[in-house]
A and B are shown apart, each in its own frame.
Chain A
Amino acid sequence: MITTAVSRLPIVALVGNPNCGKTALFNLLTGSKQKVANYAGVTVERKEGTFFAPNGDRMRMFDLPGAYGLEAETPDERVTIDVITGNYALEDRPDLIVCVVDTTNLRQHLRLAVGLKRFGVPMVLALNMSDLAEQYGLVIDTKLLSQELGIPVVKTIAIQKSGIAELVQVLQDSVHTTAQTRVERGTVTPQQLQQDHEQVNQLLIRIGADRLNPLKASDRIDSVVLHPVAGPILLLLCLFLIFQAVFSWAKPVSDLINFSMTSLGAWVEQLLPESALRSLLVNGVIAGAGSVLVFLPQIIILFFFILILEESGYLPRAAFLLDRIMGGVGLSGKAFIPLLSSFACAIPGIMATRTIQDSRDRLTTIMIAPLMTCSARLPVYGVIIAAFIPHRTFWFGINLQGLVLFGLYCGGIISALIVAYVLKLSKSKHGIQTLMMELPAYHTPALRNIVIGLWQRVHIFLTRVGTIILALMVLLWFLSSYPTAPVNATHPAIEYSFAGHIGKALATLFAPIGFNWQICIALIPGLAAREVAVGALGTVYALSETGTEAATALQPLLAQSWSLPTAISFLIWYVFAPQCLSTLATVKRETNSWRYPLLMAGYMFALAYVGAFVAYRITGYFVGA
């Protein structure tokens, strides 16, 4: 290997088995805030950060997807192997690999370290979670291990700021920029794996570290959580409670935000003279973007629970319990985590499918991911449910609104399973889907991670409200206000505007499912961001109000002007409708073809239309409309 110095920043790559804490270390070393959670496959792409050594040296640091082996079996492992062998884009090979291992499972994780050494890249071993190992009496002699492996070995605790001091020192001392040539990826035969395995076992005996984590606490929890009867009941209870909480806990805060928005609107209305600016502020910004903001508390509560489930290690157990259903409709067990991520947003969910080995299984998962109810749909459901479903409480404090919300989420899930099943039938007789999913030891959720995770969600939400949603609302306000009404107009001004004309043109198409022209207007900006539909309804209805009444909250306005069948039809439409251009763009990127996004848009539109039509007719029959 040529070792002349070259003038670029040194490159350090974090490599290791899935779920050994690479991203937590990366966040500490670079000050980044990448997502961490307690399951395999959180990181599916290369993340880059900058590390500053105490002496001021700068290095580029890569966080790579976890890999069980060096054969690049999945798209995410491929990224890892390509980066460390210098075959990723035009990047040089890393100057140093930090091989991160979970100290509580050295038998498994050191085997990867032994395999990585064969690439010949300078390497440091980070014994992560060394504190947890010491809790059951496993103390590693790092000097001895370092002699055995012939590379520096440091202990790290990625959940403590002080836990990386040694690693920082080693990075400062041992990273040198050298001209790198790429190496072959090579193949690892099962015989080689067996040899590495035996080498690791003998090594562990020599350094006196041949003891397994008893995993007593995890096993005790699992004896309940994975129990054939208690397990599923617990899972259902858990999900059910989350949806109850989303509605009942959020209400006081949502009401407060709602009240503030209405008061703000009234105040601006009094403050400014009648003008286009006043209308823009009151009807566009406050009634529009404000009506989306009301849903911040619900989003925080939903993500609080999701983060706790992710951090604790419960999610893969839920996947275990539901695997029969998943397998029954032809889904890979690995599909669970991507589908669950899609409840936040389909985009990271679709990207998380990179952990799925078989490309056809991966495609099926991508195609149904948008049927999982993303958080952008929550405001839409929220406003309609609050306006049309009575706030009634049954036994045990179960409330009807939470129940309906739960039902809408279930509707999405059940239809996803049906679609997966149909896709399975259309596939030619094609192998069997795999599971092979790690069930990590339970961890107590770290408050720091929960707070960071929540803050990120709040940040994403507020940024969306402040940028894309606000911009669309201003645009919509303009389209709904101009051209202005003729002098002796008999209808509200909006009916003479551009938006009014567009809405009325579309209304013919949507009349069979009970949508009026106001809804049709709201559907269009909803394509860019689903929540905007709520804001758009806010603006459209605020502008439709005749007379000089102040802009009131959206909810009572809807309750007055929509029939129940229309409301239900609108809800069902949102369970299915492919109304998110960024999701379709992600599908295009991940599948590298226009075929699948178009297919997705087509089938979801058809489902939405048919579903809404049926819901409209059935509800209409029952209320006698």
Chain B
Amino acid sequence: MNNEPIPCSPTISLLSDLPPGITARVTAISSSAKNKATPQLLRRLSELGFLRGEAVRVLRRIAGGEPIAVRIGGSTFALRRHEAECISVEIPQP
């Protein structure tokens, strides 16, 4: 799949690694060897509002790393780790 996150960039990361409380923007929804996401899962995430340019913030991460509670646009969703790993985000530089 295209839009692979660039690992060395300091501002781009996966939603699964985003620290709670920081507002980031969605840059891509993509599958990788790590998350093994099906096209259905990716489309579902888009339907839920995980779309390019949308503001996203981690509200809460349960001990152990999943699930996480995420604010996307005006909605709140609970995601498991492999789902959050499909979402690349960028933290706007201040």
> A residues touching B (Cβ–Cβ < 8 Å)?
68-69, 71, 73, 104-108, 111, 188, 190, 193-194, 197-198, 201, 212-213, 215, 218-219, 222-223, 226-228, 316, 319-321, 323-324, 327, 333, 357, 431-441
Contact B80 A435 (CB under 8 A): yes
Chain A proximity mask over B44-66: 1 for CB below 8 Å, otherwise 0:
11111101111000011011101
The 9 closest A-B pairs by CB, nearest first: A69-B47, A105-B74, A439-B76, A68-B47, A435-B80, A197-B51, A107-B73, A226-B60, A323-B67
Which residues of A sit under 8 angstroms from B44, Cβ to Cβ? 68-69, 73, 357, 434, 436
A434 to B62 CA separation, bound complex (whole angstroms): 16
Known: A71-B47, A432-B82. 7 other contacts (CB 8 A): A193-B46, A194-B51, A212-B73, A319-B78, A432-B80, A434-B80, A437-B77
B9 within 8 A of A: no
Show the binding face of B for A, using Cβ within 8 Å: 29, 36, 38, 40-49, 51-54, 59-60, 62-64, 66-67, 69, 71, 73-80, 82-83
25 contacting pairs across A/B (C-beta < 8 A) = A68-B48, A71-B43, A71-B47, A73-B44, A111-B49, A190-B42, A190-B46, A193-B43, A193-B51, A197-B49, A197-B52, A212-B73, A218-B76, A226-B59, A226-B69, A227-B60, A228-B63, A323-B67, A323-B80, A431-B38, A435-B80, A436-B48, A437-B77, A439-B77, A441-B76
Among B45, B51, B66, B71, the residue within 8 A (CB) of A436 is B45
Q: Is the CB of B42 within 8 A of A321?
A: no
Given the known A-B contacts A333-B67, A434-B41, are A323 and B78 also in contact in the complex, defined by CB atoms under 8 Å? Answer: yes
Residues of B within 8 A of A441 (CB): 76
Q: How many A-B residue pairs have CB under 8 A?
A: 126
Smallest CB gap from A115: residue in B: B47
Report yes or no: A439 in contact with B78, Cβ–Cβ below 8 A: yes
Q: Is A194 in contact with B78, judged by CB distance below 8 angstroms?
A: no
In the complex the two chains form, is A194's CB within 8 Å of B80's CB? no
Residues on A with C-beta less than 8 A from B62 are 226, 228, 320-321, 323-324
Which residue, A215, A327, A435, has most C-beta atoms of chain B within 10 A? A435
Query: A442 to nearest B CB, angstroms?
Result: 11
Task: Tell me if A104 and B74 are in contact (CB < 8 A).
Answer: yes
B94 to chain A: closest CB distance in Å? 21
A357 in contact with B78 given A190-B46, A228-B63, A434-B83 (CB within 8 Å): no
Min CB distance A130 to B, Å, is 15
- Chain B residue at smallest Cβ distance from A440: B76
CA distance A107 to B71 in the complex (A): 13
Q: Verify B47–A438 contact, CB threshold 8 A.
A: no
Measured in the bound complex, the distance between the Cα atoms of B60 and A513 in whole Å is 48
CB-nearest residue of chain A relative to B60? A226
B79 near A193 with CB under 8 A, answer no
A residues near B76, Cβ cutoff 8 Å: 215, 218, 438-441
Chain A residues near B47: list those with CB within 8 A: 68-69, 71, 73, 193
Q: Complex: how many Å from CA A323 to CA B46?
A: 22
User: Complex: how many Å from CA A439 to CA B36?
Assistant: 25
Cβ 8 A contact of B67, one of A105, A215, A227, A320:
A320
Q: Which residues of A contact B82 (CB under 8 A)?
A: 432
Which residue in chain B gives the minimum CB-CB distance to A332?
Answer: B80
Contacts of A327 in B (CB 8 A): 66-67, 80
Beta-carbon contact of B67 and A108 below 8 Å: no
A312 to chain B, nearest CB (A): 15
- On chain B, the residues within 8 Å of A432 by CB distance are 36, 80, 82
The closest CB in chain A to the CB of B35 belongs to A432
Contacts of B43 in A (CB 8 A): 69, 71, 73, 188, 190, 193
- Chain B neighbourhood of A226, CB < 8 A: 59-60, 62, 69
Residues from chain B with Cβ under 8 Å of A227 in the complex: 60
Smallest beta-carbon distance B4→chain A, Å: 16
Q: Are A222 and B80 touching (Cβ within 8 A)?
A: no
A393 vs B35: C-alpha distance in the bound complex, in angstroms?
Answer: 52
Q: Do A438 and B69 touch across chains, with their CB atoms under 8 A apart?
A: no
A357 with B66: CB separation less than 8 A: no
Q: Is the CB of B66 within 8 A of A438?
A: no
Contact A439 B80 (CB under 8 A): no
Q: Which residue of chain B is the closest to A71 with respect to CB atoms?
A: B43
Which residues of A sit under 8 angstroms from B66, Cβ to Cβ? 323-324, 327
Docked pose: A441 CA to B77 CA in angstroms = 11
Residue of A106, A107, A194, A436 touching B79 (CB-CB under 8 A): A436
CB of B82, distance to nearest CB on chain A (Å): 5
What is the distance, in angstroms, from A21's C-beta to the closest C-beta of chain B?
15
- Bound CA span A476–B42, Å: 57
The answer to whether B59 touches A222 (Cβ under 8 A) is: yes
- Please indicate which of the listed interface residues B44, B52, B83 has the most CB atoms of chain A within 10 Å of its own CB: B44
Q: Are B49 and A107 in contact (CB under 8 A)?
A: yes
Question: Which A residues are CB-close (under 8 A) to B29?
Answer: 190
Q: How far is the CB of B77 from chain A (nearest CB, A)?
A: 6
Task: List chain A residues, Cβ under 8 A from B51.
Answer: 193-194, 197
Task: Give A235 Cβ to nearest chain B Cβ, in Å.
Answer: 13
Cα–Cα distance between A316 and B78 once the two chains are bound (Å): 9
Instruction: Using A108-B49, A435-B80, A439-B77 as known contacts, say yes or no to A357 and B40 having CB atoms under 8 A apart.
Output: yes
